[in-house]
Chain A
Amino acid sequence: MKNFKRITALASLLALTLAVSACGKQGSTDETAEAENTGDQKAVVYRTLDEIKESGTINIGVFSDKNPFGYVDENGEYQGYDVYFANRIGEDMGVEVNFVSTEAANRIEYLQTGKVDIILANFTVTEERAEEVDFALPYMNVALGVISPDSNVVQSLDNWSADDEMIVISGTTAEKYLIETYPDIPLQKYDSYATAKNALENGNGVAWANDNTEVIAFALQNKGYTVGIPSLGSQDTIAPAVSKGNETLLNWINDEIKALGEEQFFHANYEATLVDTYGLEFQESLVVEGGQVQ
């Protein structure tokens, strides 16, 4: 009898927990559905351009630990390519910029809840993300790059010899791209940046494919290596993002990017923030001016 009582107690507890969690789930899906359906009528999470101007402060989400795009210097000041642009936005809009430190994993949530007005955290434009947030015109290119020792620079992936192996880091876009586009190239996969770096230095593979910003920085820091292919595969772009539906702000940013193109603003930005890491020769392949991808 005692056992029976215990079992029923346990079962009812379980049922209750399930019910609670089910309610929670249902509630949230209903709400998101509702928010999408009614759009503008329901509580709008974002602030329009006029509301931002009125408040005198714009909240911009940037990385605080991605040198040289968004980082904090030794005096506690935000610096970098993204931050340089953010400061110009604040200046031209006539408002103060309040920087919010974001992580790769929470950038979309920040926009969906209106806790920031713009994300300028090296945000690569993808189709999945474009369903959650609105992207403005791009201001930077990102692609893959291939680095190899000076003694045997790999400049093309065509006519690949089956004896040569390519170094990649597992789970990166480089790995995915090579498997899909060049299935004949044998890959040597490593789990981390450090092990892949060792493999290249020890000559385990003939070349290393990774994000082009990474390999370019590597070649500049380590003598004896050349980026034979600075831009490979699908050209992705990096763009500012705003909350879904925030048209006034989106239009303002697009106009701003176009206007800045006339004064070559992003070239100046590159020279101020990225030149130490990447050198001048990659300026044209990385910078997007006036929102026009070449």
Chain B
Amino acid sequence: MLDLGLEVLSKGNNMLRLLGGLWVALKISLLSVGISIALGILLGALMTWKNPVTKAILRVYLEFIRIMPQLVLLFLVYFGTTKAFGWDLTGEMAAIIVFVLWGTAEMSDLVRGALISIPRHQYESSEALGLTREQIYFYIIIPQALRRLIPLSINLITRMIKTTSLILMIGVVEILKVAQQIIEANRMSSPNAAFGIYLTVFILYFIACWPISMIAKHLERKWR
């Protein structure tokens, strides 16, 4: 039997600490996901406007966030705001701000894509039926766009959960950092612990992300 060094998990509070780390990661990512979806839908709808000014501003915002690596954004918000404005944000707060900025940008582009993918004749037929603009969006366009949005946004949500592994760089001790701490603390007594601990981390991430995929599948089937 391969020695995975799993015995270190039963030492002291190690397993509890890992779960605590998972909770930190989930708390930050799910809170950000919730805010990002709401703001993203709003901005995505704005992006389909014909107004060139809003279009340009949103475009610049999207491209800026898309080009910047998340790690750079984290450093900018956590250390940069202290240097520039003297704000003393906690690591968690800085992480949520960055994840909301990032999630909103990507979500709004997904919403925009879903909205413009609805064929023109859907709008035109609704107009021919005499529906008002609000009615067209509410009854015809949004329900169809939402269905197209689900698989895309699941990708984004799971990606946001996994990217929390970067926030250890701004001093937030989440699941991956706890894992590294446990591995290093037992470097001498269980040199193989890295395999077992990372395997456990993998399983915990999976348990966290799997229900989201299941919900998405369920919704997709229900709204078909």
Residues on A close to B: CB < 8 A?
12-13, 16-17, 20, 27-28, 31-32, 43, 45, 64-67, 71-76, 79, 100-103, 105-106, 109-110, 112-115, 221, 276-277
* Complex Cα gap A100–B171 (Å): 7
Across-interface contacts of B184 in A (CB, < 8 A) = 65-67, 71
B173: A residues at CB distance < 8 A: 64, 101
A27 to B80 Cα, complex, angstroms? 12
Contact between A73 and B56, CB atoms less than 8 A apart:
no
**How far, in whole Å, are A48 and B17 apart by their CA atoms in the complex?**
34
Q: Considering the chains assembled together, what is the distance between the CA atoms of A213 and B182 in angstroms?
A: 21
Q: Does B127 contact A (CB under 8 A)?
A: no
| Of the residues B59, B83, B171, B181, contact of A112 by C-beta under 8 Å | B83
A45 CB contacts on chain B under 8 angstroms? 82-83, 86
Q: Do the beta carbons of B168 and A75 come within 8 Å of each other? A: no
A13/B13 in contact, CB under 8 A = no
Pairs A–B under 8 Å by Cβ, sample size 25:
A13-B60, A28-B80, A32-B83, A64-B177, A64-B180, A64-B181, A65-B181, A65-B183, A65-B184, A72-B185, A73-B12, A73-B185, A74-B11, A74-B14, A74-B182, A75-B13, A76-B12, A76-B17, A79-B185, A106-B75, A106-B169, A109-B75, A110-B171, A113-B82, A276-B188
Interface centre among A32, A106, A221, by most chain B C-beta atoms within 10 angstroms, is A106
Given known pairs A71-B184, A101-B168, A106-B170, the reply for A20 and B177 (CB within 8 Å) is no
In the complex, chain A residues whose CB is within 8 Å of the CB of B171: 100-102, 106, 110, 115
Residue of A nearest to B59 (CB): A13
Query: How far is B180's CA from A72's CA once the two chains are assembled, in angstroms?
Result: 10
Q: How many angstroms from the CA of A32 to the CA of B13 in the assembled complex? A: 44
CA distance A28 to B75 in the complex (A): 14
Q: B205 interface residue, CB < 8 Å from A?
A: no
Q: Which residue of A lies closest to B181 (CB)?
A: A72
Inter-chain contacts of B12 with A (CB < 8 A) = 73-76
Residues of B within 8 A of A32 (CB): 83
Residues of A within 8 A of B79 (CB): 106, 109-110, 112-113, 115
Which residues of B from 6 to 37 have beta carbons under 8 Å from A? Answer: 8, 11-14, 17
Closest Cβ–Cβ distance, residue A221 to chain B (whole Å): 7
Instruction: Please report the C-alpha to C-alpha distance between residue A12 and residue B57 in the assembled complex, in whole angstroms.
Output: 12
Q: Mark B144-162, 1 if CB is under 8 A from A, else 0.
A: 0000000000000000000
Please pick, from A16, A101, A114, A221, the residue contacting B188 in the complex, using a CB distance under 8 A: A221
Chain A residues, Cβ within 8 Å of B63: 13, 17
Interchain CB contact under 8 A, B64 and A105? no
Instruction: Collect the chain A residues with CB atoms within 8 Å of residue B124's CB.
Output: none
Could you tell me the distance in whole angstroms from the C-beta of B200 to the nearest C-beta in chain A?
15
A13 touches B56 (CB 8 A): yes
Q: List chain B residues, Cβ under 8 A from A105.
A: 169
Please state if B84 and A31 are interface contacts (CB–CB under 8 Å). yes
Q: Which residues of B contact A103 (CB under 8 A)?
A: 168-169
Residue of B nearest to A31 (CB): B84
Which residue on chain B has the smallest CB distance to residue A74?
B12
Closest residue of chain A to B74, judged by CB?
A: A106
Point out the residues of chain A lying under 8 angstroms from B8, CB to CB. Answer: 74
Contacts of B3 in A (CB 8 A): none
- Give A19's nearest chain B residue, CB to CB: B60
Residues of A within 8 A of B64 (CB): 17, 20
Q: A17, A31, A73, A74: which contacts B83 (Cβ < 8 A)?
A: A31
Name the distance in Å between A218's Cβ and chain B's nearest Cβ.
11
**In whole angstroms, what is the CA distance A154 to B89 when docked?**
53
A100 to chain B, nearest CB (A): 5
